[in-house]
Amino acid sequence: MTTLADQKPVDAAEDKLFKIVGFDPWPEQADVLDRYFRYIMVAGGEQGGKSLMASKWVVRRLPEDLALAKEEGPDVAVLYWLVAADYARTKREFFYLVDDLRAIFGKQAVKATKRLDPGSIEVYAQDGRERRLVLRVETKSAKDATTLAMDAPHGIVVCEASQVDLQTFERVMGRTAPRRGWAFFSGTFEASIGWYPTTWEQWQAVGLTDRQSYSVPSWANLSYYPEGRNDPEILRLERDSSDDFFMERIAGKPVPPKGLVFHEFRADIHVQDVQWLGPDETVYLWEDPGYGSDSAHAIEVAHIVGGHVRVFDEIYERGLITEQIIEICQAKPWWKSPKVLVTDPHYKDAHHSMTSVAEEWMQRTGLHAGGTRTRINAGSERLKGFLKPDPLTMTPKIVFSPVCHGILSEFGMEVNPFDRQVHPYRWTTDSSGVVIGEVPKDKWNHGVKAVIYGLVDKFGYNYVTQKSEIPVRRGGYGPRSLARRR
């Protein structure tokens, strides 16, 4: 079976289909569509034609995918998915495809639903006296994860990809595996934080054989901006907008985030499908109670295998007391495993209510709550050491399951699960991005702190215990200064 491992130009059959559907690509679009990568990520400026290009990638793939389906069996139809954060966001790509497929196969051969929630497009071919289904397109909503667990499509288009979460990205990549399918991601950068811009940056690397990322700026759309980059309206937007807005929303380029505490975190390396290993394997519960009405009560749940940490589950709640958090833990399948509890050493014995956190755990579960007093900068360095990949294997000493939405939002990979806004763990910075102060903001960091407490309790500080000062990176990627221990 042929795959998408190699690049090749658009062949005659695909070029003919573009002519049939009346598509004459702009140079920036042709630069993407002439490639032959299995995974494509296109970041576009507003009105840059991302949805149009996504639909044309499907048209470009049709000849080979129809041939692949025929190899699988006479009754196998090509299956494509349109995936988005909700059904409504598939609208543009869906109706572009309806028009394209009708132009290619004839109006009578194409049957499309009027609704998108879910929606489908079916293409039939006459086979003797019978009509046979040869192609089906289905819309999928990331809000219903179960819809992404069924079937194995030949190809997936992710619409407004920056709006879907990291877990959806992981599921999409996984669903392409059974049929060696392809995936096309299109979206617009927003705040340049999250899995989308970081993955886009990683797919820019030279030498990748199966994936690549591209930018298609707004001015590529010559219908709106006839003079391209020098169109008066583009120049006005550049003059009147902030540099960050123009780069992200118009030029389709990510802006390096400023002040992230853990800028080393990468979705492709640190997020893996790790799971509970069964009742015989010790489970580590690392907790930060997160006192305050707007704080998260975080418990990161991990195995430690051969010195490597696998954070496979998470409790991340707000407004619940310790008793309720314990009840959630006790309902988990992993509760039957041997357990080690480490909690916030600053507050585990403090009496904010009738009983302290440590006393509550002991009374209700018999678990002793460990915890070592932890300096935040030294603890962060310890976590960064675990995040650092081995230079030969590119394997870090700690990975996180995509179900750990709370801590992933603190690393800047997802939106916050409570208010759906971007709240990564940050330093305070001035308007130019220079770090102010000696410690990061003590906010949006409860999952991170829980992991730090656990790592320090289990492994100690390592080399940093020998230093009287901890180096702190200033200005994101700028020069360093020293923050004194506290």
The CA-CA-CA angle for residues 70, 74, 78, to 5°, reads: 50
Sole residue written with tokens 């430690």: 304
Burial of 159 (0-12, 13-18, 19+ CB in 10 A): buried
- Strand pairing category for 130-141 and 78-84: parallel
User: Which tokens belong to 22?
Assistant: 């009346």
If you count them, how many residues does the chain have?
486
User: Which tokens belong to 468?
Assistant: 């009287």
pTM metric for this prediction: 0.71
The SS3 of residue 218 is helix
Q: What is the pLDDT of residue 61?
A: 93
d(CA 331, CA 285): 14
The SS3 of residue 137 is strand
Does residue 333 have a cis peptide bond before it, meaning omega lies within 30 degrees of 0? no
Sole residue written with tokens 């391209």: 228
d(CA 165, CA 143): 10
SS (H, E, C) 456-478: HHHHCCHHHHHCCEEEEECCCCC
Cα four-point dihedral sign 259, 264, 269, 272: negative
DSSP state letter for 115: -
Domains in the chain, start-ordered, CATH in brackets?
Answer: 12-250 (3.40.50.300), 267-484 (3.30.420.280)
pLDDT per residue as tens, the chain (486 positions)? 333 434 455 566 778 899 999 999 888 888 898 888 999 999 988 888 889 999 999 999 999 999 999 999 988 999 999 999 999 999 999 999 999 999 999 999 999 999 999 999 999 998 777 889 999 999 999 987 777 877 899 999 999 998 898 889 989 999 999 999 999 999 988 766 788 888 898 898 777 889 999 999 999 988 899 999 999 999 999 999 888 889 888 998 888 677 889 988 988 889 999 999 999 999 999 999 987 777 899 999 999 999 999 999 999 999 898 999 999 999 999 999 999 999 998 877 766 667 889 999 999 999 999 988 888 889 999 999 999 998 888 899 999 999 999 999 999 888 889 987 788 999 988 766 678 888 899 999 999 999 999 999 999 986 534 333 334 444 443 333 333 333
Measured between alpha carbons, how far is residue 26 from residues 33, 49, 217 in Å? 10, 10, 11
User: Which tokens belong to 189?
Assistant: 């950068």
- Strand pairing category for 120-127 and 130-141: antiparallel
d(CA 16, CA 302): 54
Cα four-point dihedral sign 398, 403, 407, 413: positive
End-to-end CA distance of the chain: 61
Q: What is the pLDDT of residue 263?
A: 86
CB 415 within 8 A of CB 269: no
The SS3 of residue 313 is strand
